[in-house]
A and B are shown apart, each in its own frame.
Chain A
Amino acid sequence: MSLLSIRNLRTEFQSPSGIARAVDGVSFDVEPGEIFGIVGESGCGKSATCRSILRLFGGAPARIAGGQILLDGAGDLAAMTERELAQVRGRDAAFIFQDPLTALNPTMKIGRQIAEVILRHRKASRAEAREAALQLLRDVHVTSPERRLDAYPHELSGGLRQRVVIAMALALRPRLIIADEPTTALDVTVQDQILRLLKERRDSLGTSIILITHDLGVVSQICDRMAVMYAGRLVETGRVREVLDAPSHPYTRALLAALPGQVGRDRALTPIEGAPPSLIAPPPGCRFAPRCTRALARCTQGDPPPLAPRAGAAPGHLDACILDEVSDAAA
């Protein structure tokens, strides 16, 4: 049984010019012990999707307009009251933000912040909580952890801060960690260390991780399965090597073709022309069709196509393109 099943999730944001459907009918499952990547460009709804799970909208005028978020053993998070959901946060599922500085209280020592997370959910003495915090810092390979307990966030480097945030997320041994661009603000050598750390936690504790990123390289490095998101919808999903090595949706292909490193220096890169559609009044049919070089008239009619398997595709490799054969091989 899946740890998390998201069914037809719809999340709306109130904006001055109307209601933006940031997440518009998204469904996917995350298995126990799996690292699931969601990739897409800015504004595609990947962040809104993962924030919907624990309803962490940070005060933005957002609401879940429909669908189910079924967490094994906890029920439908989308149907819970704020109070019920507060019990799930941290205990069953924890969230790691892109910028660790905003996730930490600047006026509180690291040790106390971690201890607070523990004390909020279980009975322990202050000394026990502090000891647990120390162990958590050790688990995420913070150097000289005893000293860091009494440090303030601003005294730590970016990489150390993100380790502290991960330690806090791990504090209650949640079965699911949702990480929203956890390494985007970090240098590449530190990113590498943090990604290895997340993978190590999954390997040792069997924690499931949803990793949101704009970087296909990061997905390639640590994810098992992935979904590609465009304009509020999933357009392709499957095992990482299948999606990246044999992408079947034109958007995934275009995204990969735009990356430097895929062509020789003597050839121009292939950008995707145009811009993503409005989420307030999206065009009919496939939302990528207006920018798709292969689009036919029928691509721009009716509802957006659902994810479906393609003949000959690997099991679980689905895409949302109605064209029969995307023949111009990308890989």
Chain B
Amino acid sequence: MTERQLKGIGVSPGIAVGRVVVVRWALPEVPHRVVARTQVEKEVRRLKAAIKDVRRHFGELRERAVDRAGVDAARIFDAQILMLEDREFIGGVAELIRENHLTAEKAFEFKTLEVRDLWTDAGNPLLKERLADVTGVAIRVIQHLMHRGTDDVWDGISQASIVVAKELSPGLTVQLDREHVVGLISEEGTRTSHAAILAHSIGIPAIFGLRNAVERIRFATTVILDGTRGTVLLDPTPDELAEAQRSETRRSEMTARLEEATTQPSDTLDGTHIALRGNVDLPAEIAAAKAHGAEGVGLLRTEFLLTGQSSLPSEDEQVAYFRRVAEAFPGHPVVVRTYDLGGDKFPAPFRTAPEPNPALGWRAVRVCLDEPAMFRTQIRAILRGAARLPLQLMIPLVTRLDEVERTRAFVAEEAAGLHKAGIEAAASVPVGVMVETPAAAVMADRLAEISDFLSVGTNDLTQYVLVVDRGNARLADRFTPHDPSVLRLLKLVAEAARAAGKPASVCGEMASEPLSAFLLIGLGYKTLSVAPPALPLIKWLIRQVSTERARAAADAALAARSAELALDILRFSLAEAVDLSLLDPDARLPAGRRSGSLKA
């Protein structure tokens, strides 16, 4: 990284080139002035009139947002309109005027600062972020009361400009002139800031959370803003400018191709079908997976049902959730992973003293087998859901054969119990092993014999094989699923499954990244389950390669001495089939993590 390059959080993708305009947007200085007792009611009336005007203004902004960013994004303004209708808040301002004889603008400022302090002290980052919304309302009302011109920040911008501000409100963002404002940079805010969401919906490249941007980026400097990577390049050379234009063209071309891929089958060039499923952690991801054409769910996490709960979810609640997910993917399987609880992911009833090594501790199937009531409830829910829908059960963190056998015994007993009770349920469900420990990988042949499918969880497998905590920044370079040791195990599992005639899939994060997906196809995996946002990219990739090429590349990668060499081999081989420059050079994963970078 050069001194000319600054980094923030890319909140809206795309590349923009323009001259910097620094926008000052803050609460105006309100002089402290008291009014005569007789003037107090007049101040309250002035306050009410101003609020009415500003309320109308926000109504207009909302309309504008509907046009520019869509109905969903426009709802951001509902909250601001409601603030102006908030009787408790406005009543509080009026009270301040009446009791302390303040001017309307001073009283409004006081009340706003009170909310600011309250929210800042609450220590909730989301709340702190929403302060921009409150400030946006306050600025407008106070400016109005002080008879100041409002929102003139966009005036005078007459050429392609990149706006740099300390903080941006949704109101400012929706009003900006798309023809002249080509990019946004803000010191405050993250991806979930309302202004960021609006910038994304409107389609303006934007970077938020760039510390001291106002200080570091001089007025009228030309910059290249890369909203995908979150970088700003100051005073670019002509070569850098040309390159920026080229990347932007490639990016928009690629977006179009990915959209196309969504509706096409995920077949390789030689016609081998790779079943592409989605990983679903939260209910909200169901829609995204479906929209991106997932053939079912390869990993349905169930911990969501427990977050923040004081008790365990009931059998009925679980049945309802499993049905809801499966009904979204008619005709395709949904693989329910039984509770992967442990460490800090415990619901209150099971919370135990912190373990010194939670990753090596009492978690996942170990907890389930020790807490049969909880486990049996979940198994019954899966059996009931499977009555009419293709649900499958997957056991996490298996290290021993008896864990599968005991789970199977539970499944058989509960199925018999449900049958006896006359409750509609499947007589059995496919039981699979999530291969995510070295023990399970090494025992894959035996596990394949006693289970219905194997699915590799690459994150935990990598962590346990390489003895690297992936959360440890110092070891970040060592956490790579492309290490030859992990590759050998991946190969072992695929072959064990094939020999036993059982399907093998990969549901780990690795499958969501193009270079690794190419490798996995080459290793013989016919099912990949990926993060929903990565579905179009992986499908597009599958359609560009032949299994023969993938197999040759995988064989060569297996022979490599290091992860770096394995990646070089894959990159080299994939480059013959795919224009790698079409892909984001950093091959960013949906989770914001990078691995298997396509950049040589």
Q: Do A and B bind each other?
A: no
Give the A-binding residues of B (Cβ under 8 A).
none
